[in-house]
Amino acid sequence: MFRVNVVHSLRKFCSFSKVNNGKCVLEFKDIPVAKGLPVIGTTLDIVGAGSAPKFHEYINERHKKLGSMFRERIGSLECLFISDPEVIREIFLHEGKYPRHPIPDAWKLYERKHRNKRGLLFMDGEDWLYHRKIMNTLLLNRDFSPFVDPIKNSVGRLMAKWEASEPIKPLENIESDLYRWSLETIINLTVGSAYTEIQPEIEESLEKLSRVLHRVFKTSAKLFLLPPQICEFLGTNGGTRALKMMLILLSKHPDVQENIRKEVVGRDSANADEIPILRATIRETLRLFPVAPFVGRVIGGKDTILGNYRIDQEVMGIVSLYTSSRDPRNFYNPNQFHPKRWMRSEGASEHKPQASLPFALGARSCIGQKIAMKQMCELLRQLLQHFHLKNYTGPVNPVLQLITVPDKKIEIGLRKIHL
């Protein structure tokens, strides 16, 4: 109690001080800390709160009690959790030439055992920077117009499949359909017009790959307790998870469906990701259900200051996107699904956009973000041009399987629109 009062007094004193460009800087030890046990830290608390699937809720409650920045030792790992949007921005914009982030121990063990390399996700230092620059040219800094037709065609095939389903019953295997569609799109973008020729040959392999990827996420989540140990993925499968949540949200809000439908009718010639309401709907879905509710960076060292604290040692910094994107100080009515909050004409100044960064920011942001956004916007456009969505799922809560997923099977019905 004495130490808490001292820190409180220091903070009060700092409000009248001018230190470090007007900010009074406290030390790392002054950051609020969650109490734990020797060796295991707060592991038992996490297990008692629902373990890995409920970790985002556990950390959200910690933020409510300890503030926008707090320390917690989970097992042997010292973590610094951050939900303040200004500090989050500082982390991403000043992460240095070679940003470092954590990787699940199970994945590293598999890599060593099988001597497999996994590209950018596993790289650090100069090796990462060299390959990242190459991938930036291919996936970020380029003309994407050749990708438009392959994406439209792959979405069209998915719409045709769903149109053939019974109109009254919920869709069967919607999750499998989305996985498969996402993988098919990437292959289509890779091989171009040759896709139609090879499609019959890869049908079985494509189906198997979609099942394997699904199992990777579910199994990895069981092998370690701390979901933030995995950060940004390369966009594809994260986009699949985001689409599932978007379908649920839209099926529960027929008024939002109709508003979007009015905006996209007759705009087939436009690139879907250039239609503001479609981008806004994706952003709002990712605000409420960020694919990666935590993003990790190795931060700290000499002369590092975050917020009002000096981080003079290397520590695992965990950006709490789930908390920041649902904080009423950052978003008005934060639990409401309101896509137009992201449109300039609808008072976007009422929120803090840097509090919701689904693709992260800076040098190590998601390499697949542009393709993912194009995929999701095109699917949303064609979906609402063809169908009305009806919800059969009931109340849904997010749980973590490395990334955010719904806690129950999705049941969405589609009713064909006859124009």
In angstroms, the CA 186 to CA 120 distance is 17
Cβ pair 69, 32 in contact under 8 A: yes
Cβ pair 101, 296 in contact under 8 A: yes
- DSSP-derived 3-state class of residue 389: strand
Q: What angle do CA 356, 399, 404 make, to 5 degrees?
A: 45
Any binding-site annotation on 366?
Answer: yes
Cβ pair 389, 324 in contact under 8 A: no
In angstroms, the CA 85 to CA 68 distance is 9
Cβ pair 374, 144 in contact under 8 A: yes
Residue of 196, 148, 197, 154 lying closest to 177 (CA atoms): 154
Local structure of residue 120 (DSSP, 8 states): G
In angstroms, the CA 142 to CA 281 distance is 25
Size of the chain, expressed as the number of residues it contains: 419
* Residues in CB range of 231: below 8 A, 6 or more apart: 101, 102, 292, 294, 295, 296, 297, 360
- DSSP-derived 3-state class of residue 302: coil
* CA-based R_g, the chain, Å: 23
Where do the H-state alpha helices sit in 253-399?
254-264, 276-288, 321-324, 369-386
Beta bridge pairs of residue 176: none
Beta bridge pairs of residue 27: 310
Provide the token pair at 52. 């890995």
The DSSP-derived string for 213-270 is HHHHHHHHHHH-S-GGGS----SHHHHHHHHHHHHHHHHH-HHHHHHHHHHHTT-TTS
In angstroms, the CA 281 to CA 340 distance is 8
In angstroms, the CA 227 to CA 217 distance is 11
Could you list the residues known to form a binding site for heme, using ranges. Answer: 366
Could you list the residues known to form a binding site, using ranges. Answer: 366
